[in-house]
């Protein structure tokens, strides 16, 4: 019998107590504590940002001198902070220029993605890898078009479900950055196959 999924664990309860919109807030908080993707004054792009927990954490880290831009198919219904701007859109269709409108055209210091496909239990891993490939495609195509989303030397953190295509995804990411490794935060459920690829030094 597979392990029972515990929905209301300590991170779920802590998120409610701390005012975060989802337990995933602690995943980004730990990633940043360990990896230092974001700093005061950073510009951050959150792909697949709804319901907004990562926007909340990123906003706190970058502070009032930084800016956080998020995009999702669903609207973010919670008001977060003045330095957070959200768009409703599809990352397969939205032009890079639309994502840069709140940064004065300046590229982001870090790109974040906690996106996941609608899970069915069949092919979830490959759908997840496809989303990550789309993130990398966006970074490459925007740079080639002269409107780069990520600055040279910038950072990336994106979620993927582990499986047979995972090593190739890490290798592709490592070719585009000077460093790319997998990291699993404590707030990820034990039964979850999710992993975060954290990369530094975007080569552009």
Residues that are catalytic: 159
Cα 103 to Cα 68: distance, rounded to the nearest angstrom: 9
Angle made by CA atoms 75, 42, 156, in degrees to the nearest 5: 70
Q: Which residues are CB-contacts of 47 (< 8 A; sequence separation ≥ 6)?
A: 70, 71, 91, 111, 112, 113, 115, 135, 138, 158
Cα 186 to Cα 39: distance, rounded to the nearest angstrom: 22
Specify which residues 156 forms β-bridges with: 111, 199
């Amino acid at each position: 019998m597979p392990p029972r999924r515990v929905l209301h664990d300590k991170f779920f309860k802590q998120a409610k107590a701390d005012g975060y919109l989802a337990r995933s807030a602690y995943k980004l908080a730990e990633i940043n504590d360990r990896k230092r993707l974001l700093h005061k004054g950073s510009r951050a792009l959150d792909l697949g940002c709804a319901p907004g927990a990562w926007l909340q954490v990123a906003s706190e880290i970058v502070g009032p001198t930084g800016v956080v831009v998020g995009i999702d198919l669903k609207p973010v219904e919670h008001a977060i902070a003045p330095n957070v701007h959200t768009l409703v859109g599809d990352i397969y269709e939205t032009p890079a220029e639309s994502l840069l409108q709140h940064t004065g055209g300046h590229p982001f210091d870090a790109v974040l993605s906690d996106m996941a496909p609608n899970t069915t239990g069949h092919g979830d891993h490959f759908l997840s890898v496809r989303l990550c490939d789309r993130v990398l495609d966006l970074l490459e195509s925007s740079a080639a078009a002269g409107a780069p989303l990520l600055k040279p030397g910038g950072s990336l953190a994106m979620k993927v479900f582990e499986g047979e295509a995972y090593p190739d995804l890490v290798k592709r990411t490592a070719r585009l950055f000077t460093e790319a490794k997998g990291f699993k935060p404590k707030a990820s459920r034990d039964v979850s196959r999710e992993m975060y690829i954290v990369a530094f030094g975007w080569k552009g």
